[in-house]
Amino acid sequence: MDEKPEIRPMPRIGDPAPAFEAETTWGHLALEDFKDRWLILFSHPADFTPVCTTEFLAFAEIGNDPLMVDK
């Protein structure tokens, strides 16, 4: 018998982020790794779209220091 996956509603602004783990360019990371720290979760809808490129460039211009306010 196959188990059905749990269906969760999409988080809304102000809701806590759901726990997750992912393979990243920095290795295996989990949301819990950033507990009590500032974190920006960035996702793009598709590769090579104008919105995606604009957002990536904006993050690159910011640099790392402003994003790491909890050093």
Catalytic residue numbers? 52
What is the spatial distance between Cα 19 and Cα 34, in angstroms, rounded to a whole number? Answer: 11
The answer to whether the CB of 33 falls within 8 A of the CB of 41 is no
What is the spatial distance between Cα 71 and Cα 29, in angstroms, rounded to a whole number? Answer: 18
